Amino acid sequence: MVDMDSDLRPSPVPRPRVFPVVGTAPGPRCGHTLTAISGPEGDLSKAKLVLFGGATALEGSSGKSEGAQSTPGSAASGIRLAGATNDVHIFDVRTGKWEKTTPAGEPPSPRAAHAAAAVGNMVVIQGGIGPAGLASEDLHVLDFTDPDRPRWHRVLVSGPGPSARYAHTLSLVANRFLVAMGGNDGKSTLGDAWALDTSEKPYAWRKITDAGEMPSPRMYATAAARSDGLLLLCGGRDVGGTPLGDAYGFARHRDGRWEWHSAPGAMPTGRYQHGAVFVGNRLHISGGAVGGGRMVDEGTSTVVLDTTHGCWVTPTSGASGEDFTRRCRHAVASVGPFVFIYGGLKGSQLLDDLLVADDSNGTELSIFDPRSSAWQQYMESMHGNAAASRMLEKAAAEEAAAAAALNVRRVSAMDDLRCVDEQLDGSGAGGAGGSRASDSPSTNRSSSPDVSLGKDHVPGTTPYTPDVKLWHRAVVVHQENSLRGLVRQLSIDQLDNEGRRVSIYENGGPAGAKEKSPLFTRSMSVTGVHKRVINELLRPRTWKAPEDRRFLLNASEIEELCNNAERIFREEPTVLDVRAPIKIFGDLHGQFGDLMRLFEEYGTPSTAGDITYIDYLFLGDYVDRGSHSLETICLLLALKIEHPRSVHLIRGNHEAHDINALFGFRLECLERLGDEAGVFVWRRINELFNYLPLAAIIESKILCMHGGIGRCIHKVDQIAELKRPITMEDGGPVLMDLLWSDPTTNDSVQGVQPSPRGPGLVTFGPDRVKEFCKNNNLQMIVRAHECVMDGFERFAQGHLITLFSATNYCGTAGNAGAILVLGRDLVMVPKLIHPLPPNTPHTPDSTGGLDEDPPTPHPANDTWMQSINDERPPTPPRGRPHMGSSLEYF
């Protein structure tokens, strides 16, 4: 028997059955969980709903035997739940079919009123109550890494954590933190909050006690996480049994602080045992109980909190007749714009129906059959046909097999969270190709040092910030046989062309205090053309160059994009003040395929990726040389509009009309947009370039610019004093040095020397770098501007790093591309991609299939504008011997 607070009296309401069952459905139940797991990169066509546990029977409070059910209309004063189970059912979103599965491993005990959250391709289960009383406080993981062979694991967590409890909440915040709150431990209603960082091992719970005024204790509340990391705790029942109608935001700031904040307004009707899930920035709340054996009224059974506008709304229902959402103890999940509701309790009747509501237009909820033609048409239009899905599944299986054969670790979107007992002897899955936590930082996209927690700060003291250090190993992605996601770590000094040893220059002051950000305005941009750009271009695994070379936007849409971005750049300072953790990108030069590869391998700037907890900094030279400058600059501008506080762009020397008129960008605009529109767009984008910031300082210790300090830059203030908009003609020697100067050929060449790039340009020696760092209280300079063979190169004993992100520059250099990932501990990790082999496509084709033996690339898909690069060859790359030449240096 499961005793789960049973104050709902039977009612004569008949049980609705909306749609016929396909497959092995879970059957009637309540107190279960429904968790959505999307396919690779959020592919909705492969999304699954995982239903676990729940109570499958009712027991009246007047002496009925276990398993018996109260009948509708009975006069029993209350009901109890029985038949707790630990079975697992999976709903295929595309086909609308249920399947019961028996995962391998040791399953959790039967339970209901438990909590669940999705972590990558896993479902985490915690707490609940079953026939033997409260379930243990252990975390159980249902692992779908192999979708055909799911497996249960028990997660080992060190130290104290949330006590055994039921009717609590468990959510994943910012794709990283498991947050458990409230519930009942069998003795009292709880008001605590705990967080577990999935990116740090050994796993440990941390009780959150310093986040401001906490909400009152409650049970049977709901908690749902918005895609940008904001958690909404809503409703519940307090210690006196009163239903609550409040809502609170809970978020973690980038400096490690957690903060509570009351949501605007109050829910139209207080409730508990309800369901809640986010669709975009709208929190959908359905059903619930109000006490005294009653459920919410029909008019308010479904309400929505619009977190963008800070208001509660009651959507209109597209279903005729009875309001199907009047129920409690049901389970809710969302996939894309769709809300799924399964089962629950209505009066004395357990439900076994599946409801689907569409929130595509943001105003109306229309309930329909998930196997209807409308659903199928949506899935086909968004994600291609079933054959394409099978091809992707086959490719993923082949990649996994290749990873095992090569004994290397595959990068996943989320840390393993499989620290299970069978791995303790070192023979588990973590052994092959993995690196010991004490030896090096994880290569995972979400793990330290990218997103490591900062040290605790004692109030009233000066915040501690560590010295900047370059990690002694670089993360390298291998592309043999077109396999993706296979990585290894190499000693920096073992790289073929990066051999200078690092001697960190120790000097710098404490970082300034961190500012708070409003919880209810985070990452919520207005609708605009930038949304379309992101939706169509930010597809690291599936983007493909258009065959006809036409660009997806017209001139007026590009103008709108520029106008919106320019408004943001106007408000920014000339020298940006940014914080760690942050990813730094060097020159891209229109090589959009390389940008997608870097996003694919090391994290994507989206709310489904890592933008909620790590910034992105781009060091200029977005256009010219490559054949996809329009894609590159438009996507970066769109990301800036979408995430203005997290995406940072500074100017390079090719962001100038006199340069990009000669080196490809102007020609690309004319070719792809037409002569008249092309000239207009080229001029408008160059006007925007004049507003770009010119440098950035990270944590008051690292100066980032495009070129260098040249001969005349001695203070950061000289850069900050440049007024924008600014052209190269107006910027004078300071702007010329900033965008055009280079380090000397090696550490032995001191002072200021003439540059082979042309008259009036200079190179600067290691003495200039050390002097500049000392005078400006800096520890390091990071710059771009030069192609280097390993994608990054040290200079001045490690005080300066040159960064270049485009591979095989101009189709001839053969260089690797790199980014630098700076963690909160200010450890800087180089992450590399190598050039693709000849005739290897950057991405799968548009249907998702991989070309086995691709033909010679079509000219339209070629990365290089060969005629431009033949006419004006690039700077020879550093890092390997080369013969002297008369090449033009741009």
Question: Annotated catalytic sites, by residue?
Answer: 654
Q: Using CA atoms, how far apart are residues 6 and 1, in angstroms rounded to an integer?
A: 12
Q: Using CA atoms, how far apart are residues 266 and 694, in angstroms rounded to an integer?
A: 46
Q: Using CA atoms, how far apart are residues 344 and 365, in angstroms rounded to an integer?
A: 19
Inter-residue contact 801 to 702 (CB < 8 Å): no
> In terms of DSSP H, where are the helices of 185-308?
none
Structure tokens, 471:
């990690």
Helix (H, G, I), strand (E, B) or coil at 670: helix
DSSP state of 14: P
DSSP state of 515: P
Block residue for tokens 């250099």? 813
Structure tokens, 29:
């139940």
Structure tokens, 503:
């001697």
Q: Using CA atoms, how far apart are residues 498 and 800, in angstroms rounded to an integer?
A: 13
Helix (H, G, I), strand (E, B) or coil at 715: coil
DSSP state of 493: G
Q: What's the gap between Cα 683 and its chain centre?
A: 34
Structure tokens, 190:
């709880």
- Would you state the torsion angle of the CA atoms of residues 249, 117, 330, 364, taken in this order, to the nearest 10 degrees? 60
Q: Using CA atoms, how far apart are residues 414 and 410, in angstroms rounded to an integer?
A: 11
Q: Which residues of 541-579 are buried (b: 16+ CB within 10 A; e: fewer)?
A: bbbbbeeeeebebebebbbebbebbbebbeebebbbebb
Block residue for tokens 């059955």? 17
Among 167, 172, 142, 171, residue whose Cα is nearest residue 154: 142
Among 210, 207, 183, residue whose Cα is nearest residue 195: 207
Q: Using CA atoms, how far apart are residues 351 and 340, in angstroms rounded to an integer?
A: 14
Helix (H, G, I), strand (E, B) or coil at 562: helix
- Would you state the torsion angle of the CA atoms of residues 446, 448, 450, 454, taken in this order, to the nearest 10 degrees? 120
Strands 316-317 and 364-367 come out as parallel
Q: Write the CB contacts of 195 (distance below 8 Å, at least 6 apart in sequence).
A: 173, 177, 178, 179, 205, 206, 208, 252, 258
Q: Using CA atoms, how far apart are residues 659 and 557, in angstroms rounded to an integer?
A: 24
Block residue for tokens 């519930």? 183
Q: Using CA atoms, how far apart are residues 127 and 333, in angstroms rounded to an integer?
A: 19
Q: Using CA atoms, how far apart are residues 3 and 293, in angstroms rounded to an integer?
A: 16
Side chain identity, residue 641: I
Q: What's the gap between Cα 84 and its chain centre?
A: 36
Among 18, 87, 15, residue whose Cα is nearest residue 56: 87
Side chain identity, residue 95: T
C-alpha distance from residue 455 to each of 210, 463, 468, 812, 825 (Å)? 15, 9, 15, 45, 8
Q: Using CA atoms, how far apart are residues 129 and 219, in angstroms rounded to an integer?
A: 13
Burial environment of residue 651 by CB neighbours within 10 A (0 to 12, 13 to 18, 19 or more):
buried
Inter-residue contact 474 to 829 (CB < 8 Å): yes
Side chain identity, residue 610: D
Structure tokens, 596:
């997608």
